[in-house]
A and B are shown apart, each in its own frame.
Chain A
């Protein structure tokens, strides 16, 4: 291992060190504020280190790692999302009984797992990262041990994730059987000599797709999503919706674009079908939800459906639009779940849509942020969601994917219906419900998210430039 190798792994070293240090700190002196402060600083340090290693990329450490602009971008997105989740976790965990500090240890290990996925150049690293992420997520989901729903969600995730991992492993095995290697670059160069993909490889890829579809909550592998989102603590739900999906998306985009999966007619049809199904099923089921966390779960299914359209564009520009979409979707989703977690108390999770009745007249600013998040998810102008939807439609139309684009448009209208319902509820008449006071950290984070949504909605050019400059495979 050379010095540059070591140097380029700085972000991972920071992420790996942080939980160990927190563990030592807890064993000596258990204090919530100290642990929290250290966690925030570590994540910020990890973000800063991305700029620090910028001069050495692209750099690959054979056979496992490849650190290029694309992975740095996803690392940035993941770390920043984790930071926002961390901010919202402060209030949420503060009123929790029992041990709270360990939550941050596990948040770090899962982020570490997620970040490994972005640099994976080998199925082993892919699988290791994914399992580190998933194992940590079981604990995070079931973190509120006193709640039955939390435990139930944890077990559900555990069982279904194990099944999907089995599929994934089998798929990887079949690909290994075909080419005798598990390294992405080796597989790609092996494929490039072939006229047609070998059937065994295609079966393997199908199995892989099952595993990935599960992690991204694509129809028909979406069953776990609403239950887990509902049962998990609100910040953890937002973490699953963003960091875990983003990381899996990163590795999937890398693999799919490199093997040129979009040129293969059967992959094309399968992915189109999954995209269309995810949009329709997600949006139509979301209409009937009375629980806001379930509603957001179904909305995330639909959003992932929009996103995988990009896989079929088969161009670098498509990848740029996917990254832009992920950024705006992450900000918006974390904002929405953030509001939920800020309004939850020790005794009651603010998860019924009816809990938000009259919120606009009791806490106008928080309600305004929530409204903005809903409008952004619905893709209404001046919000970031509008530009990102535009970007996807733009790239989709450029690639001529008209059926997918039309179903996206139809679904935008369906989606609007339930997002508006949430907004309407907030405007309806008031009944007097006690709402918790929101701490400074919570308010500041909401402010960051608001600014993010508005700035990206009105003036997105700089971010697009930034993406185009760095995020290429």
Chain B
């Protein structure tokens, strides 16, 4: 039941926050903070009660929802979703805190939208029914649209449109694929259901499986995003308010990665192996192209947005390597990128709150005005370029090693991304905190609230970098379960593709054994 409570608490909090917003602007903030803290606390308590993370679902609940179509309320939790949920609720708290002074208009409605987005994201991480998954997937769009469109910066309307149309169009393609999968499964077994567990291992021909997978891929690759489908991201990230950018970068992008891990890989084992070279190439292109564009930006938030494109390239590279090492790296990258990029967006927000610009050419020499902020900026720029000791290093290293086993060329090319990351990260520092003073800004250093926010993020990124093992332990069973098809049994679905499939499977297996 705890899983349903998590979502219901968020929804109830959202309504309360909206209603209380009419009275005063402090109540919505407190209500949101309490709501998210309760959710986080529930999860942490659960985490400490759980002795071992086995191969099974930790919690698995199922009710009927619309039985006429075989739609159920099926929520389940495993290590992967547990980690993602903790990230969601933690960053939810952070985003309420950073909006404390930034958002002064329509506070109640702002927090309503914020909590609704988080409820949608939590639902995505928990749903094991494809219809339910799509429901939550769409649910988070509208409030995000409002968040960008109402509280964003100058070009907010266009950015909000772009965000919505891109994600909705790709989401509908996924929806068609979900239905296609449903009918393919129903026609072959006679059981019409949207249930994920039952749909696993649906028999279909290679081309059918490829078509259905491409619908899913459209949604996830747009969300991730992958070059050339990334066009919405820089606009949405740079025009959103700080909390919006934080949620977009740290959580919304992760739903795409989560979708790839949870749905594409287990549901379409053969098709995704066929797609793997393209997927890895897309990842490498994203890494290099994102880094190059990041280097060329002058708008600080846009710059950080493009670094996300680059970092998410690593995620897709890892996912299509199909081995445990890379997958551990992917999970670590999702967490570390969420924290570090989130922190950079927070820094950008704090800067523009003080000097009302995001143009890094007008900044410079801010270290002496705000040394604490500078130090935070330094830590997270280092995290972004992959300095050992911080979470991102572990993540990117693991992904590269994992990818090396699967495809040497791609892995080598991806390594170049680390150099590019150094360039853009140092450029942030150089332009903002060091270098010549272009304008003599009058600004204060961080206050207590902001120090607490940034400090907690620093602790987590350090923790992930120095003691990554607990994360690995939690994620491992879930990842092995995901890789089930790729390690033990070769999957043969159609005769036409038989020889090819077996070949690629054995290839993969030999590589995996090599790693073991």
Chain A residues with CB under 8 Å of chain B are 361, 375, 380-382, 386-387, 390, 393-394, 397-398, 405-406, 409, 412-413, 416-417, 420, 424, 427, 459-461, 464-465, 468
User: Does A427 lie within 8 Å of B150, measured CB to CB?
Assistant: yes
CB distance from A317 to the nearest CB of B (A): 10
On chain A, the residues within 8 Å of B172 by CB distance are: 409, 412-413
Known interface pairs A409-B176, A416-B164; A427-B149 also in contact (CB < 8 Å):
yes
Judged by a CB distance under 8 angstroms, whether B139 is at the interface is yes
Which residue from B69, B134, B168 sits with its C-beta under 8 Å from A416? Answer: B168
* Cross-interface CB contact of B65 among A381, A406, A412, A461, cutoff 8 Å: A461
What is the distance, in angstroms, from A430's C-beta to the closest C-beta of chain B?
A: 11
Closest to B138 in A: A381
A459 to B138, CA, bound (A): 17
In the complex, besides A380-B141, A397-B180, A416-B168, 8 extra interface pairs with C-beta distance below 8 angstroms are A393-B179, A405-B176, A412-B172, A413-B165, A413-B172, A424-B149, A424-B161, A459-B66
A427 to chain B, nearest CB (A): 5
Q: Which of A381, A393, A424, A461 contacts B67 (CB 8 A)?
A: A461
Q: How many residues of B contact A (CB 8 A)?
A: 31
Shortest beta-carbon distance, A378 to chain B, in Å? 9
Note all chain A residues with C-beta closer than 8 A to B180.
397
User: Does A465 contact B68, Cβ atoms closer than 8 Å?
Assistant: yes
Most chain B CB inside 10 Å of its own CB: which residue of A361, A382, A386, A420: A420
> Which residues of B sit under 8 angstroms from A427, Cβ to Cβ?
146, 149-150
Q: Determine the distance from Cα of A324 to Cα of B164 in the docked complex, in whole angstroms.
A: 27
Given that A397-B179, A398-B183 are contacting pairs, would A417 and B161 also be in contact in the complex, using a CB cutoff of 8 Å?
Answer: yes
B370 is an interface residue with CB less than 8 A from chain A: no
- Is B135 engaged at the interface, CB distance under 8 Å to the other chain? yes
CB under 8 Å from chain A, chain B span 152-204: 157, 160-161, 164-165, 168-169, 172-173, 175-176, 179-180, 183
Q: Are B138 and A380 in contact (CB under 8 A)?
A: yes
The distance from the CB of A321 to the nearest CB of chain B, in whole angstroms, is 11
A413 to B172, CA, bound (A): 8
> How far is A439 from B142 in the complex, measured between Cα atoms in Å?
30
Near A by CB (< 8 A), chain B positions 62-116 give 65-69, 106
In the complex, which of the residues B65, B68, B146 has the most CB atoms of chain A within 10 Å of its own CB atom? B68
Closest-by-CB residue of A relative to B187 is A398
C-alpha gap A390/B142 in the complex (Å): 18
Q: Are A394 and B150 in contact (CB under 8 A)?
A: no
Main secondary structure on B side of the interface with A:
helix
Contact present for B135 and A416 (CB under 8 Å): no
Q: Out of B65, B139, B164, B173, name the residue touching A382 (CB < 8 Å).
A: B139
Q: Are B145 and A420 in contact (CB under 8 A)?
A: yes
A449 to B507, CA, bound (A): 59
Q: Give the residue of A361, A381, A464 whose beta carbon is less than 8 angstroms from that of B106.
A: A361
Rounded to whole Å, the gap between the CB of A327 and the closest CB of chain B is 15
* A397 and B149 contacting across the interface, CB-CB below 8 Å: no
Per a CB cutoff under 8 Å, which of B68, B106, B141, B157 touches A468?
B68
Question: What is the bound-complex CA distance between A319 and B239, given in angstroms?
Answer: 46
In chain B, what residue has the closest Cβ to A412? B172
CA distance A160 to B179 in the complex (A): 41
Q: Which residues of A contact B134 (CB under 8 A)?
A: 381
Give every chain A residue within 8 A of B135 (Cβ-Cβ).
381-382, 386
Given A381-B135, A413-B168: A394 and B66 interface contact (C-beta under 8 Å): no
- A367 CB to nearest B CB, Å: 11
Neighbouring A residues of B139 by C-beta, 8 Å: 381-382
**Cβ of B176: which chain A residues have Cβ within 8 Å of it?**
393, 397, 405-406, 409
Q: Give chain B interface residues in 469-506, CB to chain A under 8 Å.
A: none
Are A417 and B179 in contact (CB-based, < 8 A)? no
The answer to whether B146 touches A416, judged by C-beta atoms less than 8 angstroms apart, is no
Contacts of A386 in B (CB 8 A): 135, 138
Shortest Cβ distance from B66 into A: residue: A461
**B165/A417 in contact, CB under 8 A:** yes
Whether the Cβ atoms of B68 and A464 lie closer than 8 Å is yes
A469 to B300, CA, bound (A): 60
B150: A residues at CB distance < 8 A: 427
How close is B154's CB to chain A, nearest CB, in angstroms? 13
Whether the pair B68, A461 counts as a contact (CB closer than 8 A) is yes
Could you pull out 26 A-B pairs where Cβ atoms are within 8 angstroms?
Answer: A361-B106, A380-B141, A381-B135, A381-B136, A381-B139, A393-B176, A393-B179, A394-B179, A398-B183, A405-B176, A409-B173, A413-B165, A413-B168, A413-B169, A413-B172, A416-B164, A420-B145, A420-B161, A420-B164, A424-B160, A427-B146, A427-B150, A459-B66, A461-B65, A461-B66, A464-B66
Which B-chain residue is minimally distant from A375 (CB atoms)?
A: B142
**Measured between alpha carbons, how far is A459 from B135 in the docked complex, in Å?**
13
Distance, CA A459 to CA B63, complexed state (A): 13
Which residue from chain A places its CB closest to the CB of B150 in the assembled complex? A427
Measured between C-beta atoms, what is the minimum distance from B255 to chain A in Å?
15
Q: How far is the CB of A9 from chain B (nearest CB, A)?
A: 33
Residues from chain B with a CB closer than 8 A to the CB of A413 are 165, 168-169, 172
Q: How far is the CA of A417 from the CA of B161 in the complex (A)?
A: 8
Q: Please, which residue of chain A has its CB at the minimum distance from the CB of B141?
A: A380
Cα A465 to Cα B69 in complex, Å, equals 11
Nearest to A425 among chain B residues (CB) is B157
| Chain A neighbourhood of B168, CB < 8 A | 412-413, 416
Q: Give the shortest distance, in Å, between B344 (CB) and chain A (any CB).
A: 29
* Minimum C-beta distance from B453 to chain A (A): 28
Closest to B172 in A: A409
Give chain B interface residues in 121-159, CB to chain A under 8 Å.
Answer: 134-136, 138-139, 141-142, 145-146, 149-150, 157
* In the bound complex, CA of A361 to CA of B141 (Å): 22
Nearest-Cβ distance from residue A319 to partner chain B, whole angstroms: 14
Q: How far is the CA of A412 from the CA of B165 in the complex (A)?
A: 10
Q: How far is the CB of B469 from chain A (nearest CB, A)?
A: 39
Chain B residues with CB below 8 A from A416, complex form: 164-165, 168
A397 CA to B180 CA in the complex, in Å? 8
Tell me the smallest distance from the CB of A227 to a CB of chain B, in Å.
29
Alpha-carbon separation in the docked complex, A461 to B64 (Å): 10
**Considering the complex, which residues of chain B in the window 47-65 have a beta carbon less than 8 Å from any beta carbon of chain A?**
65
Instruction: State A393–B175 Cα separation when bound (angstroms).
Output: 10
Q: In the assembly, what is the distance between CA of A427 and CA of B150, in Å?
A: 7
User: What's the nearest-Cβ distance from chain A to residue B195, in Å?
Assistant: 16
Residue picked from B69, B138, B146, B172, most chain A C-beta under 10 Å: B172
Question: Which residues of the partner chain B approach A459 to less than 8 Å between Cβ atoms?
Answer: 65-66
**A267 → B minimal CB distance (Å):** 25
B66 CB contacts on chain A under 8 angstroms: 387, 459-461, 464
Give which listed residue, A380, A393, A397, A398, contacts B142 with CB less than 8 A: A380
- Chain B residue numbers with a CB within 8 Å of A461 are 65-68
Question: Nearest residue in A to B161 (C-beta to C-beta)?
Answer: A420
Q: Which residues of B contact A393 (CB under 8 A)?
A: 175-176, 179
Which residue of chain B has the shortest Cβ distance to A378 in the bound complex? B168
A206 vs chain B, min Cβ distance (A): 33
Give bound CA distance, A461 to B72, whole Å: 11
In the bound complex, how far is the Cα of B183 from the Cα of A405, in angstroms?
Answer: 14
- The 3 residue pairs across chains A and B that have the minimum distance between CB atoms: A381-B138, A413-B169, A381-B135
| A424: B residues at CB distance < 8 A | 149, 157, 160-161
Closest to B146 in A: A427
With both beta carbons as reference points, the residue of chain A lying nearest to B176 in the complex is identified as A409
Question: Residue of B at shortest CB range from A417?
Answer: B165
Task: Enumerate chain B residues within 8 angstroms of A468, measured Cβ to Cβ.
Answer: 68
* Contact indicator A397/B68 (Cβ below 8 Å): no
A residues near B169, Cβ cutoff 8 Å = 413
For B175, the chain A residues whose CB sits under 8 A away are 390, 393, 409
Q: How far is the CA of A10 from the CA of B157 in the complex (A)?
A: 54
Chain A min CB distance to B129 (Å):
13
Query: Within 8 Å CB of A382, what residues of B?
Result: 135, 139
Chain B nearest CB from A209 CB (Å) reads 29
Q: Cβ of A405: which chain B residues have Cβ within 8 Å of it?
A: 176
Bound together, the chains give a CA A420 to CA B157 distance in angstroms of 10
| Whole-angstrom distance between the Cβ of A406 and the nearest chain B Cβ | 8
Would A394 and B142 count as touching, CB distance under 8 A? no
Q: Which chain B residues border A417 with CB–CB below 8 Å?
A: 161, 165
Q: Please report the C-alpha to C-alpha distance between residue A420 and residue B136 in the assembled complex, in whole angstroms.
A: 19
